[in-house]
Amino acid sequence: MDTTTAPRTLVDSRGSSCPGPITDLALAYRRSKVGDVIELWATDPGVRPDVQAWAAKTGNEIVSMEDRDGKIVVVLRIAKR
């Protein structure tokens, strides 16, 4: 599924430190469906390895992870529930 047309949830965790961003991501994941896209914004650099571990554990896909405008932007596609 194309991430530009899939339902997208924005999770703004800027200013939150570990485990806040992953907790926020997990809450959004619980409300999502297969094919949905979650965009996570964070400022804690620990989010990078945390999201990689979360995606590997849950079987979901990291579409992109980049620094943008002073924040880390992670785009994930829900591939598994």
> Are 68 and 76 contacting, i.e. CB atoms less than 8 angstroms apart?
no
DSSP assignment of 29-56: HHT--TT-EEEEEE--TTHHHHHHHHHH
18, 62, 65, 79: which is the annotated catalytic residue? Answer: 18
Q: Specify whether 66 is catalytic.
A: no
Give catalytic residue positions. Answer: 18
